[in-house]
Amino acid sequence: MLQRVIIQNIGGIREAELTFSPGLNVITGESGAGKSSVVRSLELLTGSRGGVKYIRAGESRGNVEAVFDGLTITREVSGTGRSRAKIDGVNVGLNECAERVNSLVRIQSQFAQMELLDPSRQLAMIDSCLPLKVRTETFDSFREIFDKASRSARELREIKKRRADIERKYANAREIFSLVKTAKPESGLEMRLENALADITHRIAKRNRARESLDTLTGGLSENGLIAQTESCFEAVYDFMGEDEADEVRMTFGLLYSSLKGLAGEIGDNADDTAMLEETESRLGALRRLKRLSNIHDEQELLTYCDEIYTNLEWLEKSYNGLEELSAKSLDEKKRANSLAMEIRRARHEAGEILASRVNSLLSELAMNGITFSINFTGLTKLRRDGADSAEFLLTDGTRSGRVEKIASGGELSRLLLALQLSLPEEWLPPTIIFDEVEAGLGGMAAVLSGLQLKKLSRKCQVILVTHEASIAALGDSHILIQRAGSESAMKTITGNDRVREIARMLSGNPDMTEALEHARILLGSDVQTTH
């Protein structure tokens, strides 16, 4: 509950202290006396950023201090636009200050019925009427699974987008991936492969020449080589040689033949070099094609590109299974969230009917006979964190039916808002509600009935009302009068005859008119004793 407010240099107020009591507190005074300055001061505490324009003319700074059940909150604004807030003397950010104050106070001006036009507020009003189990357990479960489903859906979108980006960036990805695996790019590779290819080719050519020459000498498989032919020629001259000399020549040919035959094993075959040649040619060919496909000829750039593509394509291959698992998980979470959303929807429809019934019973007590309040629900095609529904407040006046702002006048909107506040659970209400001329547009019986409902509301929470309506002011449990004296606004709590005279002024414009004074005493009833 708001106990006390101290105002310095705000609007027309140089310095003032107001004390409030439980129940209905009314603030009255002539137009321009400074009543709205009180409301503007409290708006500063709730986070209003228009503080500079509220500073009293000629002053460099303004200050508001409010005490709520022992909690002191202060807001100071300066002409330079700087602002400072404190909670129990400790500096805090403006947002933290506003959040704390807004949990304690709700300010409703004659434009506060705009709250009725906000779909999220309409839905929140309905949700406050839901059974406790739905408001707690069901909603907690729904929000938990909704958050999980949202995270899964977001992760799924990110994976799909990355896969699409990789596939688009590497349109010939499969071939490139294959070439990267074959070439195994590394620094200086192309030159090493070219050198290796030249060495292998040279070794194979050298071996082939040696093999051919050896076969020519030995005859190979035919055993009719140059050595055999030469030895055959010597047969014709052996008769002219001595026996020892001929045996020596024969032995020489035999040794030569055996020696050359043994070289065949040392020369070996080309199997290993041929395999190495094929591998080197394949790797070099893959490297050169990779350069052409990537259009990168700088070796370091190619290495970077290969690292990148290898990482991305490897992830692409591995992501498929994860994508399937995440898709199944996301689908399951969406089904569970939808199931809970439907449960909330059923409860909302029931709560909406109950709320509409309560409001309609009050509308007749607020001189709004012939007007019916109803709630229209629309199912959303996409889940939100508050469920799968939007709500719209409607009014029917017998001939027309539509959204509240299309059917109701300003005064009717004010009374509808009041009826809603009285119909909602008490936990929906803050400890204090401040009304700034909420009865604007009302008069006669409508004003009286609204005043009675404000009085009823003040039994649920503290109500502070800035009003010009005498019949409503007379219902206050506490009455604060604001008066203008030159450029100053002065305020005080009034009782007794002072209050009678103020109610008389509100009735007739003259605080001393006999008929107005008598009417004021009637309105105030037994709370005022007549003095002579």
Q: Helix/strand/coil (H, E, C) string of 344-383?
A: HHHHHHHHHHHHHHHHHHHHHHHCCCCCEEEEEEEEEEEE
Summarize pLDDT for 211-263 with one digit per residue, the tens: 888 888 877 766 677 877 887 888 778 778 888 888 888 888 788 878 877 77
Strand 387-396 to strand 401-403: parallel, antiparallel, or no bridges (unpaired)? antiparallel
Between 156-165, 248-257, 441-450, the lowest mean confidence (pLDDT) is in: 441-450
Q: What is the structure's pLDDT at 129?
A: 93
Per-residue confidence band for 531, with pLDDT thresholds at 50, 70 and 90 = very low
Q: What is the mean pLDDT of residues 123-143?
A: 93
Mean per-residue pLDDT of the chain: 86
Could you tell me the sign of the dihedral formed by the alpha carbons of 450, 451, 457, 462, in that order? positive
Residue of higher predicted confidence among 301 and 66: 66
- Taking the C-alpha atoms of residue 155 and residue 427, their distance in angstroms, rounded to an integer, is 38
Indicate if the pLDDT at residue 111 is higher than 60.
no
Residue of higher predicted confidence among 420 and 486: 420
Q: What is the structure's pLDDT at 22?
A: 94
Residue of higher predicted confidence among 194 and 266: 194
- Taking the C-alpha atoms of residue 288 and residue 194, their distance in angstroms, rounded to an integer, is 11
Q: What is the structure's pLDDT at 532?
A: 34
CATH superfamily of 1-104+430-493: P-loop containing nucleotide triphosphate hydrolases (3.40.50.300)
- Taking the C-alpha atoms of residue 368 and residue 370, their distance in angstroms, rounded to an integer, is 6
Q: Nearest-CA neighbor of 348 among 173, 129, 199, 71?
A: 129
Indicate if the pLDDT at residue 51 is higher than 70.
no
Q: What is the mean pLDDT of residues 202-212?
A: 88
Structure tokens at 480: 């604060």
Could you tell me the sign of the dihedral formed by the alpha carbons of 247, 253, 256, 259, in that order? negative
Between 111-120, 304-313, 369-378, the lowest mean confidence (pLDDT) is in: 111-120
Structure tokens at 396: 């029917």
- Taking the C-alpha atoms of residue 372 and residue 361, their distance in angstroms, rounded to an integer, is 9
- Token pair 């004074």 is found at 517
- Token pair 């050298």 is found at 206
Q: What is the mean pLDDT of residues 64-79?
A: 90
Phi, psi of 285 (to 5 degrees): -65, -40
C-beta separation of 277 from 200 below 8 A: yes
Torsion of CA 319, 322, 328, 330, to 10 degrees: -80
Per-residue confidence band for 114, with pLDDT thresholds at 50, 70 and 90 = low
Indicate if the pLDDT at residue 168 is higher than 50.
yes
Summarize pLDDT for 314-339 with one digit per residue, the tens: 888 888 888 999 999 999 999 999 99
Q: What is the mean pLDDT of residues 270-278?
A: 87
Residue ranges covered by each domain of the chain: 1-104+430-493, 497-532
Q: What is the structure's pLDDT at 327?
A: 93
Indicate if the pLDDT at residue 193 is higher than 60.
yes
Element (H, E) at 169: helix 139-169
C-beta separation of 359 from 178 below 8 A: no
Q: Nearest-CA neighbor of 26 among 492, 418, 464?
A: 464
- Taking the C-alpha atoms of residue 297 and residue 299, their distance in angstroms, rounded to an integer, is 6
Residue of higher predicted confidence among 183 and 391: 391
Residue of higher predicted confidence among 44 and 441: 44
Q: What is the structure's pLDDT at 529?
A: 46
- Token pair 């009285």 is found at 422
- Express the helix, strand and coil content of the chain in percent, nearest 5 each: 60, 20, 20
C-beta separation of 14 from 62 below 8 A: no
